[in-house]
Amino acid sequence: MGAPEYIKIVQHIKDRIIKQDLNPGDIIPSENLLCEQFNVSRMTVRKSLAVLVNDGYIYSVPGKGNYVNEPNVNEYILYYDEMIPDPDDAGCKVHLLEVDVELPSYEVGYNLHIPKTKHVVVIKRVFLKESFPIAYDIKYMPYYRGIPIVEKEISYSTFPEMVAQRKSPFAMIKKLKIRSTLADGEISTHLEVPIGSPLLVIEELLLDTQELPIGWGVIYLPGESAALDAMASFE
Amino acid sequence: MGAPEYIKIVQHIKDRIIKQDLNPGDIIPSENLLCEQFNVSRMTVRKSLAVLVNDGYIYSVPGKGNYVNEPNVNEYILYYDEMIPDPDDAGCKVHLLEVDVELPSYEVGYNLHIPKTKHVVVIKRVFLKESFPIAYDIKYMPYYRGIPIVEKEISYSTFPEMVAQRKSPFAMIKKLKIRSTLADGEISTHLEVPIGSPLLVIEELLLDTQELPIGWGVIYLPGESAALDAMASFE
DNA sequence: GAGTGGTCTAGACCACGAA
DNA sequence: TCGTGGTCTAGACCACTCT
């Protein structure tokens, strides 16, 4: 009883969809019909439908009606926190291996869309937990004169934070590519695992709103214990 | 000019946030102020704010005001399509290795939350593209008498489709765990890769609305070429 | 032309927070 | 008490689709 009217309407329609009384592709009752059925104004019904559209249950076709969606089976929410430890957490540390300005490799130049003659900032870090390496992290950013490079800041910054000094995080597109590979010599040294160990690889590409690259990086997570979690559900 | 009023208001506020004129934690002008500023009714302003809330730019605190959000830096949209080939696509095939009813291993029983004495349905498949194996797939579901096991259907069904005969896909929670491992004997045979090759592992757990497991599966993707993509951005 | 969804108004009452 | 956001109404006009 306490719930607002529009929530009751939302629940009613969700229930019909979950009970498979309404199925994907079916049209649902028109807004005016729902007004009569629930004795509410049209704006209230529209608020309900907006919620259902938002949650992915239905979609609207102007001039025709509202239809039940095909459930999206291939979009998940991935939680990825870049494993930046809290600077105050004694168990977690960051080992800053290298901060440099150099010319890009082919791979770096390709991903940052810059010519071979343009310098890039390189940052290599190892994240430690209870003195054990848990991630090896390499990041590249186009070099501009005047970038402040402060060791303390670099150690405890996420990638978006590093570039956010010039770009708003709201105006940033982040793309991840998740792969698997084997540890080579360099990585096995830093992560203290045998050569040939399995690694989870996360490539991170930062783009501005014009889809121009502003940063590219790779994180290596050792062993079978490291895992990413993702989830999909309808509320 | 053509755009609706509420979209103009949305754009105006988004611009202020992106220009860092409004920053995370800042309060934005009250609804009544925005009404005066844009000469629109309060419902129109509220529609704009609903859009901004929805896109993650702001949040509301009843009795106080609307505030600029901290941008979410660790939630991404992961695209994962289970690699089920189109049955009509000649280049893509499914090799059904095994369909069986058996007692669960410890791992399977643990993930499905069932006792060791309760049978499970096991389905093992290899997905082929241009005759090359691209995925090795194992799925487990609690066994109920009366489950129709039709080979054709199993070959070309996603996991949610298999269990959807009893559960609506709208009433399903899907959880993924993404790991890395090395190919063992069984997997190397099916995927035609050397033992010790890197593999991307995707564990998929299906739960009903009471969070009870209704299916658990593992997919192995061979080599460094296989990758998952994820993205995060503000519109 | 009748029905649909999309936008918008000018009011109203409520619960809540701050002073 | 006053300002805030949350809910809701009873209208209105528009563009669109279908017949």
Burial B34-56 (b: 16+ CB within 10 A, else e): bbeebebeeebbebbbbbbeeeb
Residues of A in contact with B168 (CB under 8 A): 17-20
Last residue of a domain, one of B16, B35, B68: B68
Residues B105 and B42 in one domain: no
Rounded to a whole number, what is the distance in Å from the CA of B119 to chain A's nearest CA? 27
Q: Which residue is nearest to nucleotide C5 (CA to C1')?
A: A62
Average pLDDT taken over every residue of chain A: 89
A57: nearest CA in chain B?
A: B170
**What pLDDT is recorded for position A235?**
73
pLDDT, one tens digit per residue, over A184-209 is: 999 999 999 999 999 999 999 999 88
Residue ranges of E strands in chain A: 58-61, 65-68, 75-79, 92-102, 120-129, 132-142, 172-182, 198-208, 213-222, 228-232
**What pLDDT is recorded for position B145?**
65
The percentage of chain A sitting over the pLDDT mark of 90, rounded to a whole number, equals: 66
Residues B100 and B215 in one domain: yes
Residues A91 and A160 in one domain: yes
Last residue of a domain, one of B40, B68, B96: B68
Of A73, A82, A174, the CB nearest to B233: A174
Give the length of chain B: 235
Rounded mean pLDDT of A31-38?
97
CB contact under 8 A, A180 and B180: yes
The percentage of chain A sitting over the pLDDT mark of 70, rounded to a whole number, equals: 89
Residues of B in contact with A176 (CB under 8 A): 76, 228-231
Rounded mean pLDDT of A95-117?
92
Residues B50 and B118 in one domain: no
**What pLDDT is recorded for position A174?**
94
B46: nearest CA in chain A?
A: A47
Could you give the angle at the alpha carbon of B46 between the alpha carbons of B28 and B6, nearest 5°?
A: 95
Q: Is residue A220 a contact partner of residue A187, using CB atoms and an 8 Å limit?
A: yes
- A–B CB contacts, 8 A cutoff, strictly below: 162
Burial B57-90 (b: 16+ CB within 10 A, else e): bbeeeeeeebbbbebebeebbbebebbbbeeeee
Element (H, E) at B220: strand B213-222
User: Which bases of chain D are under 7 A from a protein CB atom?
Assistant: 3-12, 15-18
Residues A187 and A210 in one domain: yes
The pLDDT of residue A104 is above 90: yes
CB contact under 8 A, B173 and A232: yes
- Both structure tokens of B115: 């006792």
Residues of A in contact with B221 (CB under 8 A): 180
Residues A35 and A133 in one domain: no
Residues A113 and A208 in one domain: yes
Residues B98 and B210 in one domain: yes
Residues B145 and B166 in one domain: yes
Lowest mean per-residue pLDDT among A77-91, A105-119, B203-217: A77-91
**What pLDDT is recorded for position B165?**
64
Question: What domain count does chain A have?
Answer: 2
**What pLDDT is recorded for position B150?**
63
Last residue of a domain, one of B51, B68, B85: B68
Residues A115 and A214 in one domain: yes
pLDDT band at A15 (very low <50, low <70, confident <90, very high): very high
Residue A202 contacts by C-beta under 8 Å, 6 or more apart in sequence?
A80, A176, A177, A178, A179, A218, A219, A221, A228
CA of A144 to C1' of D4 (A): 45
Rounded mean pLDDT of A84-93?
68
Residues of B in contact with A182 (CB under 8 A): 182, 196, 198
The pLDDT of residue A148 is above 70: no
Of A44-53, A164-173, B127-136, which one has max mean pLDDT? Answer: A44-53
CA of A88 to C1' of C5 (A): 54
**What pLDDT is recorded for position A154?**
67
Residues B63 and B178 in one domain: no
The pLDDT of residue A10 is above 70: yes
Rounded to a whole number, what is the distance in Å from the CA of B168 to chain A's nearest CA? 6
Q: Which residue is nearest to nucleotide D16 (CA to C1')?
A: A63
* CATH code, domain carrying B217: 3.40.1410.10
pLDDT band at A2 (very low <50, low <70, confident <90, very high): confident
The pLDDT of residue A67 is above 90: yes
Spans in chain B with pLDDT lower than 50: none
The C-alpha atoms of residue B76 and residue B74 are separated, in whole angstroms, by 7
* CATH code, domain carrying B38: 1.10.10.10
The answer to whether some atom of strand C lies closer than 7 Å to the beta carbon of B47 is: yes
The pLDDT of residue A118 is above 80: yes
- The residue segments making up the domain with residue B45 are 5-68
**What pLDDT is recorded for position A35?**
97
pLDDT band at A181 (very low <50, low <70, confident <90, very high): very high
Residues A29 and A123 in one domain: no
| Strand partners for A201 | A179, A220
- Both structure tokens of A137: 């992290």
Q: Which residue is nearest to nucleotide C15 (CA to C1')?
A: B63
Residues of B in contact with A202 (CB under 8 A): none
**What pLDDT is recorded for position B82?**
75
**What pLDDT is recorded for position B113?**
94
**What pLDDT is recorded for position B149?**
63
